[in-house]
Amino acid sequence: MGKKIFIDFRRCIACKACEVACEMEHGEARIRVFEFPDLTSVAFNCRHCEKAPCMEVCPVNALSKDEDGAVILDPLKCIGCLMCGLACPFGVPKVDEYNKIMDKCDLCAHRRAEGKLPACVSACPTEALKYGDINDVLWAREGRIIAQLKDIGDRTNVLEAYIIR
Partner 1 sequence: MAEKLVPVVCPWCSVGCRFYIVSVNGYPKKIEFDYEHDTRNHGKLCPKGVSSFQYLRHPDRLKKPLKRVGERGEGKFVEISWEEAIREIAQKLKEIREKYGPEALAFLGSERCSIEENYVLQKLARALGTNNLDYVCRMCQSTAVAGKGMVLGHPGLTNPFEDILKAKVIVLWGYNPAATNPVFFGQYIEKAILDNNATLIVVDPRKTKTAKYADIHLQPYPGTDLAVALAMLNVIITEELYDKDFVAERAEGLEELAKTVEKYTPEWAEKVSGVPAELIRKAAITFATAGTAALLTNEGVNQHANGTRTVMALTEMMVLCGYFGKEGVMSGAIPGAHNGMGAGLMGIEPDALPGKFPLHAEEHKKRIEEVWGFEIPEKPGITYVEMIDAILEGKLKALYVMGTNPAKSLPNLKKVEEAFKNIEFLVVQDIFLTETARYADIVLPAAAWFEKDGTAISFERRVQRSFKAADAPGEAKPDWEIIVMLAKELGLGEYFNYSDVDDILREINRTIPPLAGATPERLKKNLQGCMIPCPDESTETPRLFVQGFLTPNGKAQLIPVEYKEPGEVPDEEYPFWLTNYRLVGHFHTGTMSHRSKSLSKRWPEEYIEINENDAKRLGIKDGDLVKVETRRAALVLKARVTPHIREGVVAVPWHWNFNYLTKDVLDEYAKMPELKTAACRISKVEG
Nearest distance from residue 115's CB to partner 1, in Å? 11
**Contacting residue, 53, 64, 122, 133, with partner 1 by CB under 8 A:** 122
Nearest distance from residue 135's CB to partner 1, in Å? 21
**Degrees, nearest 5: CA angle 91-21-118:** 75
The helix or strand, by DSSP H or E, that contains position 134, with its residue range, turns out to be helix 134-156
Q: Does residue number 67 form part of the binding site for partner 1 (CB under 8 A)?
A: no
- Sign, CA torsion 5/98/25/12: negative
Instruction: Choose one: 17-25, 80-88, 95-103, 135-143; the region binding partner 1 (CB under 8 A).
Output: 17-25
Nearest distance from residue 15's CB to partner 1, in Å? 4
Q: Going by C-beta distance under 8 Å and a sequence separation of 6 or more, which residues neighbour residue 120?
A: 5, 17, 18, 19, 21, 22, 31, 43, 45, 108, 129
Rounded to whole angstroms, the Cα distance separating 68 from 109 reads 9
Q: Does residue number 123 form part of the binding site for partner 1 (CB under 8 A)?
A: yes
Q: Does residue number 16 form part of the binding site for partner 1 (CB under 8 A)?
A: yes
Segment 73-102, which members bind partner 1 (CB under 8 A)?
none
Residues paired with 97 in a beta bridge:
none
Catalog residues that contact partner 1 under the rule CB under 8 A: 10-11, 13-17, 19-21, 23-25, 39-41, 116, 119, 122-128, 144
